Structure 1
């Protein structure tokens, strides 16, 4: 029966049959070596032959009986096959070492990635030459059998049956399997039916189509050089500037070779992207999801290999090099993290062991109608640990500085994008997914406890309360939240013809009603320049000059508004076409003065934002903001001031959202003294009109806008001005 089970890859407990089996004062040693003609036992310590194994069946089962005292402490087989001879250290002598993979795995979330997957280890065993290999461990509690397949066994499902443990993990240590070896798992469901070959859910490296194979990888080889950055990365992010450049690595820039336009590698991106970001004055790069994904068109938002940086751009060491280089250049790295859903590709997590192991079983909870994908079962302990471990993994092994959590709203609400009857209420009859809420809280708790220098950011599109508030206040525990309301309202406003903006004035002021309810980031993300929405520049009304002027005016308004900043690649050069993931940013446009001018403005906005504390220190505190005039709908003019934390430095932000210039325009001011123009988006170097360029700001004692003093400025068409007040030292 055992021979038949081995031939059919249906063995669940190979350690009970293969390898050394003690019987009183004897040991029966069995080897499963299909295709072998002869097999000899070799003592690894001495290198001497210990005798020939007898063939028990034609299929490849061999055995030898030894006195207990003659059993080597570590042995190998010398195998004679029609193709030649080779020597192999028997995996089935390492029962204890294999079982070690699942010791205390549920005691702490990071244990999951430290023990599961393919772990490259070395067994000393007091040998002259330690046994090096890879320990494999997989969670598949409902499988009836699991076999390890790969390059090292010619992808033979019968060669390496794995051992099932009492907790549902399957384990095996295979000597000689080195980093770079490809592998998968062959599973059989409860009834013994074969399932599609599965990639490792905790695999650290993976191949692309068509194999989608996992690849053994050793995390201990890369030598980090970012110690200085790590020492300072824990500074208060709320009072420091944060201007994020959001990037899709596959389409920021392409390189031409004999095959056509190809992706840049992680290392090429380090050479080209990092100097550009630094020169432009951004503080952080946020990359669209890097976890391995099968379909290019998902941009990474349909991940399969959560623990593997996509191999489209290189191996995990290459991605570490990219992060390391960012840190050495003083740039933080944020990655998009996707716990909201996953695709049902055959090699992935869907119905992993023949059951809904990772996803909710009921499609009213376990299927995402918008994305045609599975939804994690947030109430299942093993799934919760899997997701929290993954969040910690990127911060630990890759030194990333932050996680932007995608589609949080779809996790929070059971009826998200569902009609009546298509969802299941919670125990209180409501629509909140308590399981997902507690998962997000746990994830944030673990992240900030173990990596206090890091940050988490929620993309949450509803008014769910206290998203970026601490757990002890009943919040979700995120560090920041995208301000989707500001984004929606301001884009709707700026797309209007200036003649009609007077009727939509509140869309630009409403954000200040709730601006300090959360720690907001103002996003102009990839989602706003794709799927027919058009490029940011093309959202603007008017002729060519007015479109550019509108974007410049709007960009400066964004940088003046409270909240950290995020811009998607291409916005900063006034890209004219919407984003295409199969192409590149339209860098050729920088041959034209209009686009060079827009780029120059974004560069100077970033550097002003970095330089002047009034523009960033109180991004999340009401004391740092004050309206000067928010009621001038008739002229579509907005004016407000930003303060530094000590209240001494003030920057007045004045936006004219019409093409009508206004000379000697009076603005209320708090202080008597010297005022200086910091920025005029209509400046000719930005491809503006240069209308009555004014460096000296006239201040007088006339009260205005409820303020004790006032200043007069020339307000160019479709422009934003930054005016600085600093008391003389």
Structure 2
């Protein structure tokens, strides 16, 4: 029997009873660490303000630059740059008893040279010799286009960015999130790298038109290799300069907020690039400064370094990073990359088929880090959003810390896109099992919110295919004109719409779409690399296809906008889970209720039912508010949307009767 000290997480899930002590331990570790940091620094917020102490910070009272660096195992540090002709002996730093080095560069001596965008580095001497490095807390880093060398630059503009988003709050994004996953560099039509400002001016209006209230921006943190999709980070506090300046990123966020769109960023705290020249690896000459030493500090699959989350200065670095992006760039939250890999020493390379596997080989320091980070996010913005990219299903990941959880708001429904791709690759339409479809879309932990998605950037990468490409393949190059008949395109467009609506309405408490998938972007994503001749052809989005009035991409785009608008208006994803009303294997029909709407799907490739009768929970007159078969959505206009459908009482139950054509989905709402 649960006691009064039993965590709420265990009370709500009796299967966790054998692991109550583990959950209590995670709560105790969090409280102990939080108490220790508050005692030493005054508050977690103060502890997470490390970026105002470490790195380059301008002192307005003393008139000059402080530069501080944590490098406990180094024997000497000196700051170098254009201001001292890169003289490694001219400006040595002094070390304190906590392993932090510092120097003050006053304006009287260096003010004319240490100006906005001045180039700087730090020369680190250890038992391995001397190396020029990028400061760990560098806020602006540029890459030479020819040599690819990185250089840190002071960011000290004469006029600070003037924000206009004071009244914006991410409430809708937190309660009813419709997320548009995007990459600034590949968002433009041109074969090249897009900018923050181009994205703000050209792409944000399209996202607004589609009805999304949130963007999830990839590849914001600086990374040396463009083709890494931003997941091999070198400079954690620097917005990627290949897209523009820090001011340009602020303009993007500010513009999104003006449109009522929240901005969350992919934050990569799961690993770091192993490069010595640009990143943190062996910064002070040792292999255990920011990262675990030896094999434990290296992710063989990702070819990258793994943080030691138990170290106080590493914790300060990562928590300061969280606060920095929220305070300095007004980010509304984060999508945490690689959470499963972070949680377990085996990095998730097992089958999670029993509860005990959630409590073995766990990195407890990571749990404490997540608890502190999510606590901090909510302190800065009570409705700040945190999303975990987790495929393990760790219990409590998305429950409050006070209940024994880790404090995330959502986890990604990673099994859903895998299921759709598997279905499209290996089964004919007639073999689709509607009970399996229902179970897959509804199988999630009770009380822990899920972001549902049919596909994300993972499914769009070269080597895989988007859902549109799995459905229509090469026909998309030749038969997407409205006047060109094609049974393959007809099927593809019908199922593309149904899969999206089925996933949104059934799969979670939030919805995510990857840039371009709303109109069935025809090709994969492949960044420039040696294997493709360093081409940008597939690292862009072909908006001309969506904008062309005679191409069927426009029809998918129209449906995407209508679907999200309907779901947003009716608060679908923020509502309680769906309730099953009818399962019909013969006709491949699935009907359910969610938030007082009736969703009816006919996945049959051949069976159109003229008088499809099914039970509904509430009597009255119903009207169609979304119909995938409308001509403007690429359908065949087989249903009259102006009709109303009164319920009929039979045997004490209430029934609706509708025309349900093959490969069609409709949504009905009670109007009287």
Bucket of the pairwise TM-score, normalised by the shorter protein:
0.7 to 0.9
Q: CA deviation digits over 1:675-729, x for unaligned, max 9?
A: 001111111111112224443143342449xx82111111122121111114x4x
Hey, what does 1:129 align to over in structure 2? none
Deviation at 1:669, TM superposition (A): 1.3
Q: CA deviation digits over 1:612-644, x for unaligned, max 9?
A: 23x2441xx34xx31112x3223221111111x
Quote the Cα distance in structure 2 between the aligned partners of 1:418 and 1:659.
Answer: 38
Equivalent positions of 1:60-459 (< 5 A) are 108-123=46-61, 132-174=63-105, 175=107, 176=111, 177-189=114-126, 191=127, 193-195=129-131, 197-209=132-144, 210-218=148-156, 221-229=160-168, 232-233=169-170, 235=171, 237=173, 239=175, 241-255=176-190, 261-347=191-277, 348-416=279-347, 430-459=360-389
Q: 1:576 is paired with a residue of what secondary structure? A: coil
Quote the Cα distance in structure 2 between the aligned partners of 1:515 and 1:709.
Answer: 32
Q: 1:627 aligns with which of 580, 584, 590?
A: 580
Hey, what does 1:544 align to over in structure 2? 489
Hey, what does 2:598 align to over in structure 1? 652
Q: CA deviation digits over 1:115-163, x for unaligned, max 9?
A: 1111122345xxxxxxx33211111111000010111111111121111
Quote the Cα distance in structure 2 between the aligned partners of 1:418 and 1:674.
Answer: 52
Q: Which has the larger radius of gyration?
A: 1
Kept in 2, the 8 Å contact 1:184–1:199? The answer is: yes
Quote the Cα distance in structure 2 between the aligned partners of 1:281 and 1:384.
Answer: 38
Q: 1:709 is paired with a residue of what secondary structure? A: strand
Quote the Cα distance in structure 2 between the aligned partners of 1:642 and 1:107.
Answer: 40
Q: 2:588 aligns with which of 621, 636, 657?
A: 636
Quote the Cα distance in structure 1 between the aligned partners of 2:633 and 2:499.
Answer: 14
Hey, what does 1:58 align to over in structure 2? none
Kept in 2, the 8 Å contact 1:254–1:263? The answer is: no
Q: CA RMSD in A?
A: 2.5
> Structure 1: 5+ residue runs without aligned partners?
1-101, 125-131, 256-260, 421-425, 644-649
Matched, 1:575 2:507: no
More helix by share: 2
TM norm structure 1:
0.77
Moved more, 539-548 or 695-704: 695-704
Hey, what does 1:599 align to over in structure 2? 557
Kept in 2, the 8 Å contact 1:105–1:111? The answer is: no
Count of aligned residue pairs for this structure pair? 588
Kept in 2, the 8 Å contact 1:498–1:659? The answer is: no
Provide closer, same or farther for how the CA distance between residues 607 and 275 of structure 1 changes in structure 2, counting only shifts above 3 A.
same
Provide closer, same or farther for how the CA distance between residues 328 and 237 of structure 1 changes in structure 2, counting only shifts above 3 A.
closer
Hey, what does 1:586 align to over in structure 2? 542
Moved more, 348-357 or 295-304: 348-357
Higher relative contact order by CA 8 Å / sep ≥ 6: 1 or 2?
Answer: 2
Provide closer, same or farther for how the CA distance between residues 335 and 168 of structure 1 changes in structure 2, counting only shifts above 3 A.
same
Q: 1:246 is paired with a residue of what secondary structure? A: strand
Quote the Cα distance in structure 2 between the aligned partners of 1:517 and 1:490.
Answer: 24
Q: 2:665 is paired with a residue of what secondary structure? A: strand
Q: 1:514 is paired with a residue of what secondary structure? A: coil
Kept in 1, the 8 Å contact 2:326–2:332? The answer is: yes
Quote the Cα distance in structure 2 between the aligned partners of 1:290 and 1:333.
Answer: 12
Q: 2:668 is paired with a residue of what secondary structure? A: strand
Q: CA deviation digits over 1:479-507, x for unaligned, max 9?
A: 11111123333443355555443446313
Quote the Cα distance in structure 2 between the aligned partners of 1:119 and 1:253.
Answer: 35
Kept in 1, the 8 Å contact 2:589–2:602? The answer is: yes
Provide closer, same or farther for how the CA distance between residues 667 and 419 of structure 1 changes in structure 2, counting only shifts above 3 A.
closer
Equivalent positions of 1:513-528 (< 5 A) are 513-514=443-444, 516-523=446-453, 524-528=455-459
Q: 1:492 is paired with a residue of what secondary structure? A: helix
Kept in 1, the 8 Å contact 2:623–2:645? The answer is: no
Kept in 2, the 8 Å contact 1:266–1:314? The answer is: yes
Quote the Cα distance in structure 1 between the aligned partners of 2:41 and 2:667.
Answer: 60
Quote the Cα distance in structure 1 between the aligned partners of 2:202 and 2:337.
Answer: 27
Q: 2:314 is paired with a residue of what secondary structure? A: helix
Kept in 1, the 8 Å contact 2:619–2:654? The answer is: yes
Deviation at 1:528, TM superposition (A): 1.3
Quote the Cα distance in structure 2 between the aligned partners of 1:642 and 1:168.
Answer: 57
Q: 2:499 is paired with a residue of what secondary structure? A: helix
Kept in 2, the 8 Å contact 1:502–1:635? The answer is: no
Q: 1:466 aligns with which of 375, 386, 396?
A: 396
